[in-house]
Structure 1
Amino acid sequence: MAALSSFLFVASLAVPSEGLDTVEGKHKIMGVNPKLHNYYEPVAPPQYGGHQFFQCDPLARSGTELVPYESLNDDFCDCSNGADEPGTAACSHFPGAAFYCENKGSVPKLVWASHVGDGVCDCCDGSDEWQLGGCENFCAAEGSKIRQQREADLERIEAGLRQKEEERSHTDEKLAQWKAELEELKAKLPELEAASNAAQVELGELEHEEHKRREAEAAERSGENAEESDVLSGEVKVSFHRF
């Protein structure tokens, strides 16, 4: 039976934004998640003379456990899995036992069954204290605050998306510009290569001419040095003969 308790809690996590927290039937069942309404519909087996009962475990493949329908939310655990007390704390010791807050005007939520009827207003509509009363309904104020926060969050998200789009557009423009510049450079490449080759040829010619000029200057200096050496040699001989 504990399987249904876990199932009911997991299914109740899918909290809808709208809906009643009561099952409209012969009785109003407090604390039931609208997603689970079907599980709280009464059954009337023919063998019981048309009396209405609650199926503690509607998913059971065999041995269905029935309790009188009027025993729901009577502050006593009749079902072995605690499913008959969705609106009280009587079965709060079962794993996953939770109470559904409708919270009209704000956001529906779940509170632990142990918080029901404890004198603390956990639901903004005060429905968790339906047995004691005394809770003010502040769902309108809470809902307004939540909506403002969501609007602010949405505005930030939209601003971020706009900035991202602007950056993407700017990036696309720069990319297109770079592609155009690249194509322009590619078009100029043959001309630049030709100019580079011509410059290399001209440089080679200039280096060759410079080499020839230096060789000529060196040869000229070598000849002048030889003449000076001969002159000096003759002068030395003349001076020697005088002695």
Structure 2
Amino acid sequence: MRFYIIIAAIFWCGSVDSRKVRGISSSYKRFYRERKSFLCIDGSKIIPFEQVNDDYCDCEDGSDEPGTSACPRGRFYCTNLGFRPHYIPSSRVNDGICDCCDASDEYNSHAHCQNTCWNLGQRERAYVEGQMRTLDEGLRLKQQLIEEGVLLWREKQAQLRELQQVAEDLQIKLEEHRRRKHEADQLKEQTLKELQAGDSGLRHQNNTVTGIFQLLDSNKDGSITVDEVKAKVVLVHDEERVLSENEALGLLGGGHQMDVTKFQHTLWGVLTRGDSVKIKDAHGAQGTLVGEDPYLMAADRAAEWMATKLKKVEEAYETVNMEISDLQKKLAIDYGTDWEFLFLNGQCYKLKVYEYTYTLCPFNQVTQKNTAGTEVSLGVWGMWAGTPKNLYNQMIYESGEPCWQGGSRSTTVTLTCGTETALRSAKEPSKCQYIMDFQTPVACQPVLKQRGIHSEL
């Protein structure tokens, strides 16, 4: 009989103790050891230990009622063996709703709660294991991309050096061509001066607008007529044939006569070119215009040839310098500590969300296109904007197209770890402010310590 009394006493003490410590984590159980008095954890009051968990709030911090709903500031600890432990507000204790997966919060209510911690723990463990497999694969792919990034960085640096060497060579060539063109222009100018200073009265006369006009104006009345043109002008390739009335009218600009001013802006240019018509001298022998002089024509061709070559070299020099500038801008971008993000430059990723197609071109721009084909800029590359511990997990694209009755559009791109590179989501949580989720292996970060889920509990 005495044995049974001892066992009953032990069982009763254990029941009292479990009642006393209900809703307490293992790290706080030292405050609730059975003794004569209880010190509120905030140190504000000492009460008899019998008043702990008696459904009446004595401590301001609620520490005397961890297992009841008596204190408004109280917390109840869900042990949740097999899953994640957590706290709930003590007001939820015995309220008829199962908040703890181990049902420990409804120990004295009508609710019929089942312990689901093991199943929840299994699902979370499977999820975490899947995430860890994804992380491992992502880190493996990231290492490959880092190696490719280093090689690509070196290639672009070598390309820059080659372009800079080409630019230096072209600059030397450009200076040489400019010098030679200047010489050709000087030769042409000198030849023209020598021709203009020659002894031939006819040649000297033919070197001026007034002289040619006077040569054609036979009756010296200050105008050239159709008959005078027919008498003095012949075809270059058919010198024996006399011009027709219509041909002469055409040379006179459709009129029957012209003065020296109109002549200077029309017929003078045709005669100077010498490719269709030219002038006969007063005795029927062929006169020579300055533009027809063989030495001057040779000098003119040389000057034109040098001008053409110079223009080609200038265009090539400008193109190379533009390529150098573009490459320098690309190399000035922060591609990560190991150039792991370099492979994204020049790539674009699309995602269709309802009637819109979003396009993210890393380090360039973000756009949105509707079904009608209208494209809107949501921002151009701005900066990295991650946390101090991980600067490279967020991109900012700013200064997009103006929003109606608002500022410019902008986009924040968050980079997440994944085994492939793709745009996963695009949203507009506030007016003209867009957010995107961009998945890529280079966003994967090694985990130093995984949050444990203690299946053994």
Please indicate the TM-score interval, normalised by the length of the shorter structure.
0.5 to 0.7
Q: How many angstroms does 1:182 deviate by?
A: 2.8
Q: 1:196 aligns with which of 154, 157, 174?
A: 174
What is the number of residues matched between the two proteins? 193
How far, CA to CA, are the matches of 1:222 and 1:178 in structure 2? 66
Secondary structure of 1:135's match? coil
Whether the aligned pair in 2 keeps the contact of 1:105 and 1:139 (CA below 8 Å) is: yes
More deviation in 107-116 or 79-88? 79-88
Answer yes or no: is 1:84 the counterpart of 2:61: no
SS in 2 for 1:99: strand
Cα RMSD of the aligned pairs, angstroms, is: 3.8
Check 1:98–1:206 CA distance in 2 against 1; reply closer, same or farther (3 A cut): same
Q: Following TM superposition, by how much is the alpha carbon of 1:128 offset from its aligned partner in structure 2, in angstroms?
A: 0.8
- Would you say 1:134 and 2:117 are equivalent positions? no
Q: Tell me if the contact between 1:25 and 1:41 (Cα under 8 Å) persists in the aligned partners.
A: no
User: In 2, Cα distance between the equivalents of 1:185 and 1:78?
Assistant: 80
Tell me by how many angstroms 1:147 deviates: 3.0
Report the CA distance shift for 1:189/1:227 in structure 2 as closer, same or farther (over 3 A). Answer: closer
Q: Following the alignment from structure 2 to structure 1, what is the Cα–Cα distance between the partners of residues 79 and 68?
A: 15
> Unmatched 5+ residue regions in structure 1?
1-23, 43-51, 233-243
State the distance in 2 between where 1:116 and 1:152 align: 35
Amino acid at match of 1:76: D
**Deviation for aligned residue 1:202:** 1.7
Q: Deviations over 1:10-65 (max 9, x none)?
A: xxxxxxxxxxxxxx9971211012231221123xxxxxxxxx3241325538xx62
> Aligned-pair distance for 1:146?
2.7
* Cα distance change, pair 114–78 in 1 and its aligned pair in 2 (3 A): closer
The percentage of aligned residue pairs carrying the same residue is 25
Q: Post-superposition shift, 1:77?
A: 2.0
Structure 1 position 27 matched with structure 2 position 6: no
TM-score under structure 1 length normalisation: 0.61
Change (3 A) 1:221 1:88: farther
Indicate the structure with greater strand content.
2
SS of the aligned residue for 1:105 comes to: coil
Q: Which structure dedicates a bigger proportion of its chain to helix?
A: 1
Distance 1:146 1:227 in 2: 104
Map of 2:8 onto structure 1: none
Residue 177 of structure 1 aligns with which residue? Answer: 155
Q: Note the C-alpha offset of 1:213.
A: 2.7
Counterpart-to-counterpart distance in 1, 2:31 and 2:181: 97
Partner of 2:239: none
Larger radius of gyration: 1
**Residue 102 of structure 2 corresponds to which residue in structure 1?**
125
CA distance in 2, matches of 1:114, 1:165: 51
Which of the numbers 20, 29, 38 marks the counterpart of 1:37? Answer: 29
Q: Which residue of 2 aligns with 1:212?
A: 190
- Counterparts in 2 of 1:145-160, with a 5 A limit? 145-154=123-132
Q: Distance in 2 between the 1:135 and 1:87 partners?
A: 17
1:57 aligns with one of 24, 35, 40: 40
Q: Which runs of 5+ in 2 are unaligned?
A: 1-13, 207-214, 216-280, 283-457
Aligned partner of residue 147 in structure 1, secondary structure: helix
Q: Does residue 79 of structure 2 align to residue 102 of structure 1? A: yes
Partner SS, residue 66 of structure 1 = strand
3-state DSSP of counterpart to 2:17? coil
8 Å contact from structure 2 (residues 99, 105) kept in 1: yes
Compare 148-157 and 27-36 and name the one that shifted more. Answer: 148-157
Q: Is the 8 A contact 1:41 1:54 kept in 2?
A: no
| CA apart distance, 1:208 | 1.7
Alpha-carbon deviation of 1:102? 0.5
Q: 1:40–1:54: 8 Å Cα contact kept in structure 2?
A: no
| Separation in 1, partners of 2:166, 2:59 | 88
Q: Distance in 1 between matches of 2:132 and 2:81?
A: 22
The answer to whether the Cα contact below 8 Å between 2:68 and 2:93 also exists between their aligned partners in 1 is yes
